[in-house]
Amino acid sequence: MKTTESLARFVSEYDTRRIPDAVRHQAIRSLVNWAGCALGGARHPAVENALAAFRPFIGPAQASILGRPERVDALHAALFNGISSHVLDFDDTHLATLVHPSGPVLSALLAFAQYHPIDGKTFVDAIVFGIEVECRVAMGVGPAHYDAGWHVTGTAGGFGAAAAVGRALKLDAKLMAWAFGIVATQAAGLREMFGTMCKSLHPGRAAQSGLSAVLLARAGFTSSSRAIEAPRGFAHVLSSDPQLADATSGLGEQWQTLANSFKPYACGVVIHPIIDGCLALSSAQAYAPDEIEQVALQVHPLVLELTGKTQPLTGLEGKFSVFHSAAIALLKGSSTAWNYSDQAVRDPAVIALRERVTAQPQAGMREDEARITIRLKNGQTIAHHVEHALGSLERPMSDSDLSGKFKDLARDIWPAGQMEEALALCWRADTLADAGEIGNRLAAP
Amino acid sequence: MKTTESLARFVSEYDTRRIPDAVRHQAIRSLVNWAGCALGGARHPAVENALAAFRPFIGPAQASILGRPERVDALHAALFNGISSHVLDFDDTHLATLVHPSGPVLSALLAFAQYHPIDGKTFVDAIVFGIEVECRVAMGVGPAHYDAGWHVTGTAGGFGAAAAVGRALKLDAKLMAWAFGIVATQAAGLREMFGTMCKSLHPGRAAQSGLSAVLLARAGFTSSSRAIEAPRGFAHVLSSDPQLADATSGLGEQWQTLANSFKPYACGVVIHPIIDGCLALSSAQAYAPDEIEQVALQVHPLVLELTGKTQPLTGLEGKFSVFHSAAIALLKGSSTAWNYSDQAVRDPAVIALRERVTAQPQAGMREDEARITIRLKNGQTIAHHVEHALGSLERPMSDSDLSGKFKDLARDIWPAGQMEEALALCWRADTLADAGEIGNRLAAP
């Protein structure tokens, strides 16, 4: 099994004319979604604090931090955009692996494109290679990897970032394999960090590590050529049950990019069907919130494992609380990124309702399914069953949904006209003479 | 078990008056040994290539790359010095864990000291905390960690670097625990990389990651406070059999710094008793090299597992070949860093003798023990048994040995007088008003 070489050859040698239009369009959708998330997260304390920590060490002004005025060296831009694009927990998800592909891929690629000009067609193709490889590496370590405590976006992310930049740079297969080796030996990220700023450090570091790896390999910095599959390599060391065949089977024919999904709500994807249900119940307006006696959720078992925080104290912790998410959706009748501010989590009305929410894991339920039952103080019960959450592969967000999400997240950065222009530029990324223009336009004035 | 908090409190709160003089002296010996290794590795292609790759992204000129004229930002200095100090495989070894403590610790600490002035006493104390914590974390993951394929210098190294810089900065225990969390979630390094430049990337990244972690924690970048011991934290995710009690039992009373050993030879430590034996046989001069029919080595089983390369093609691969190491020691009658040049590995005389070397694993043999038997073409056999290798805890290198090693490694950088001054400065590190002076003095003109 020559996994590393197969993935390297795919990135270096695959004929881009074979990439279906739908795949390329999905890559652009990933760009729009990623950019919106990075703009929305640009002023988050995680980004502010990381920037304060590293400011004295930053190199030449080569690339943008999206939604901010500072220009920094490309490696730091990759880091900061990786953090900001994930910090709202609003970025894309490859549902089969729970990897968030675009943070590492696009944070590295756009930073690189601002340093080293590449055309829009090359840029969009590179996104495809990045997302494909990142998802494939995540599939290759199998579910045992995430189960053991690895945050797969941190560990597989660097491969995606390296694939995207390596393709843009036309790295040959030997150097591409080295770049994967350099990434493999820096792959990291623990699930213990969920609920802290370190969670969003993972895609940031993955982006920086993937970009670094390509630069190192190109400069002749040697690595193993079988870093993924070797007995003491990435897959066997970081997984008790690797599924290496899944990393390459059908590569270039079955597109993981098409299996990439976008979140309508700024929290763990397992909570989404519950929010859908709460919004449906709220919009029916059959009762006032203070009439609610109890909210009983029936959910997939992973919901409590991943998002079981009963008493979140910060916005970040709120994203890992199905109880907060349900309560605020019921109260506000909407679910935007601003539902996960520190202020929202500490709102006494939200806390009062949150304490009435219970959740019961239900064997046999799908991850994008939920049942919500509200018992009112008068004894009446109202129930709602969600078959497939919005944002699932069965019910994807439309292009217009994605534009709306971008606009909501970017609302405070530019005047409306400029924002529309920035958004339009993303949608026509593949036609640009210089893809770095996206980075220039998405910086704050 | 509050491993993270215990280590953080040790670093933040331990009274340095309780550090024994012997421990502090051993820290200075570690500095001398580390500096020599970094000077000797300064022109290695791994360093040249990494510098070429990152040069366009480097920040302000804050700190030295030892043995080179370039000044770079402190984070990149930590990276490059971490690479150069390990690339000759000549740095220190904590034998109980096989961790190489000083690369991460001193590469981070000296770079930081050039950016943020600290006095020599604080500097030497900080080395002690760095080495103690790095070794303790390596002990805490148990032997299963290395056995699974982790390069423990890469994974535990960042904790040591963070401890050293955190102590120098007087970080409180809460922020120190966060810094350990930030390090934990970036910990990486695979044994598959042995024999490639990526092996020395590990202490470089660990140094950079440890320094970064302290800067991030100080800026309020949040992390888990129980990153080491949590179920999805560092120890349980990166080891199938953690030994967490070993991470803290006797902390501040039994000093791992005293169990840190220094290598007289520039290759894997398991080969050292064999080189000792070959040098002893060579100095006896009982035969000419071309009279040798066969060289039979009886060795600890780990020797073949770690250094069993029969046909090394580069100097780097030569370090992982017990066959090359024995042959060249027998031929040259000495073993310096230059025995592991590409040229030395490709020398036909060395290859001819190397092909006559066989090695037999011997159950029950200690790691610092070996038996060498030479059979001459005339049928005569000569044997030598090494009880304890030079550099072992039973037969440590003297201060004068370490000075000699430093001078050999630094021989081409300065005129002799300047080299003696640089070396003397290291030996009196604890008396300096500004420890950053060491970095200034160890740069090349």
The chain A residue lying nearest B189, using CA atoms, is A185
Contacts of B198 in chain A (CB under 8 A): 181-182, 185, 221-224
Asked whether this chain's domains B3-262+397-442 and B269-386 adopt the same fold, the reply is: no
Average pLDDT over residues B136-145: 98
Contact A59 B57 (CB under 8 A): yes
Question: A3-262+397-442 has which CATH code?
Answer: 1.10.4100.10
**Which of B152, B145, B148 minimizes the C-alpha distance to B188?**
B152
Contact B215 A115 (CB under 8 A): no
| Amino acid symbol at B340 | Y
Kindly state the average pLDDT of the residues B299-318.
Answer: 93
Q: Which residue of B has its CA nearest to A227?
A: B192
Q: Please state, in angstroms and rounded to a whole number, the distance separating the CA atoms of residues B428 and B124.
A: 10
User: Residue ranges per domain, chain B?
Assistant: 3-262+397-442, 269-386
Distance CA A428, CA A39 (A): 18
pLDDT of residue B72: 98
Nearest CA in chain B to A149: B232
Average pLDDT for B184-202: 97
Among the partner residues B60, B187, B221, nearest to A49 by beta-carbon distance: B221
Residue A69 identity (one-letter amino acid): P
The pLDDT of residue A258 is: 97
Beta carbons within 10 angstroms of residue A116's beta carbon: 14
User: Pairing mode, if any, of strands A292-299 and A357-361?
Assistant: parallel
- Write the CA distances from A350 to A312, A318, A323, A357, A426, integer angstroms: 11, 11, 10, 11, 36
Partners of A184 on chain B (C-beta within 8 Å) are 190, 192
Strands (DSSP E) contained in A136-280 are 260-261
Is the pLDDT at B1 greater than 80, yes or no? Answer: no
| Token pair 């997240």 in the structure block, residue | A409
* Residue reference for tokens 């961790």: B99
Instruction: Say if strands A71-72 and A93-94 run parallel, antiparallel, or are unpaired.
Output: unpaired
Q: Mean pLDDT in runs of 10 for chain A (445 residues)?
A: 96 98 98 98 97 98 98 98 95 95 98 98 98 98 98 98 98 98 98 96 98 98 98 98 98 97 89 95 87 96 94 92 97 89 95 97 94 96 95 92 94 93 98 98 96
Distance separating alpha carbons of residues B65 and B67, to the nearest angstrom? 6
Record: contact B230-A181, CB cut-off 8 A: no
Q: Mean pLDDT of all residues in chain B?
A: 96
* Cβ-based contacts of A191 with chain B (< 8 Å): 232
Nearest-by-Cβ selection for B188 from A181, A188, A221: A188
Q: Report d(CA A148, CA B409) in Å as an integer.
A: 44
CA pair distance B267, B303, nearest whole angstrom: 12
Q: How far apart are CA A175 and CA A130, in angstroms?
A: 16
pLDDT tens-digit profile of B242-259? 999 999 999 999 999 999
Give CA–CA dist B219/B135, Å, rounded.
Answer: 27
Q: Cα separations (Å) of B78 from A9, B86, B122, B202?
A: 34, 12, 19, 12
Termini Cα distance of chain A: 50
Search chain B and give the residue with CA nearest A193: B224
Q: Which residues contact B432 (CB under 8 A, 6 or more apart)?
A: B119, B120, B123, B425, B438
Nearest to B222 among A52, A58, A197 (CB): A197
- pTM equals 0.91
**Residue B316 Cα, gap to closest chain A Cα (Å):** 11
> Quick check: B64 and B107 in contact, CB under 8 A?
no
Tokens of B381: 């056999």
Chain B CA closest to residue A111: B57
Does B185 contact A197 at a Cβ distance shorter than 8 Å? no
The reply to whether residue B198 touches residue A215, judged by beta carbons under 8 angstroms, is no
Instruction: Judge whether A442 and A67 are in contact, CB under 8 Å.
Output: yes
Burial class (CB in 10 A: 0-12, 13-18, 19+), B256: buried
pLDDT at residue B251 in the model? 98
Helices (H) and strands (E) in chain B, counts: 21, 8
Verify whether the Cβ–Cβ distance B216 to A50 is below 8 Å: yes
Partner residue opposite B188 with nearest CB, options A186, A191, A231: A186
- The helix/strand/coil state of A257 is helix
Residues facing residue A331 across a β-bridge: none
* Residue A441 to residue B41: CA distance in whole angstroms: 44
Of residues A154, A191, A215, nearest to B53 (C-beta): A215
Instruction: Name, in order, each residue with C-beta under 8 angstroms of B1's C-beta and a sequence gap of 6 or more.
Output: B229, B244, B245
- Mean pLDDT of the B396-417 span: 94
Please state the separation of Cα B238 from the chain's center in Å.
21
Q: What is the 3-state secondary structure (H, E, C) of B248-316?
A: HCCCCCCCHHHHEECCCCCCCHHHHHHHHHHHHHHHHCCCCHHHEEEEEEEECHHHHHHHECCCCCCHH
Whole-angstrom Cα distance, residue A134 to residue B418?
51
Could you tell me if B251 and B244 are in contact, meaning their C-beta atoms sit under 8 angstroms apart?
A: no
- Residue B410 main-chain phi, psi, to 5 deg: -95, 10
The residues that bridge with A381 in the sheet, in sequence order, are: A375
How far does the CA of residue B432 sit from the closest CA of chain A (Å)? Answer: 25
Pairwise pLDDT comparison (B269 vs B341), residue with the higher score = B341
The pLDDT of residue A286 = 82
ipTM of the complex: 0.91
The confidence score (pLDDT) of residue A300 equals 96
Q: Is B259 exposed, middle or buried (0-12, 13-18, 19+ CB in 10 A)?
A: middle
Determine, for residues B237 and A186 on separate chains, whether the beta-carbon distance falls below 8 Å.
Answer: no
* Residues from chain A contacting residue B76 (CB–CB below 8 Å): 57
Cβ atoms < 10 Å from Cβ of B345: 23
Q: What span, in angstroms and rounded, lies between the C-alpha atoms of B330 and A247?
A: 48
Best residue of B222, B234, B241, B319 to probe chain A, by most A CBs closer than 10 Å: B222
CA angle A29, A412, A437 (to 5 degrees): 50
- Nearest Cα of chain B lies from the Cα of A234 at a distance, in angstroms, of 7
Mutation site for B-interface testing, chosen from A185, A212, A228 by largest number of B Cβ within 10 Å: A185
Strands A381-386, A370-376: pairing is: antiparallel
Over the stretch A182-219, which tens digit does the pLDDT of each residue have? 999 999 999 999 989 999 999 999 999 999 999 999 99
For residue B62, which residues of chain A lie inside 8 Å, CB to CB? 56-57
Shortest distance between the Cα of A158 and any Cα of chain B, in A, equals 12
Which CATH fold topology does A269-386 show? 60s Ribosomal Protein L30; Chain: A; (3.30.1330)
Query: Is residue B310 a contact partner of residue B323, using CB atoms and an 8 Å limit?
Result: yes
Output the pLDDT for position A324. 98
At residue A94, φ and ψ (nearest 5 deg) are -85, 105
Q: Do B50 and A154 touch (CB under 8 A)?
A: no
pLDDT of residue B289: 86
Q: Are B438 and B110 in contact (CB under 8 A)?
A: yes
Q: How confident is the model at residue B316 (pLDDT cuts 50, 70, 90)?
A: confident
Checking if the pLDDT of B284 tops 90, the result is: no
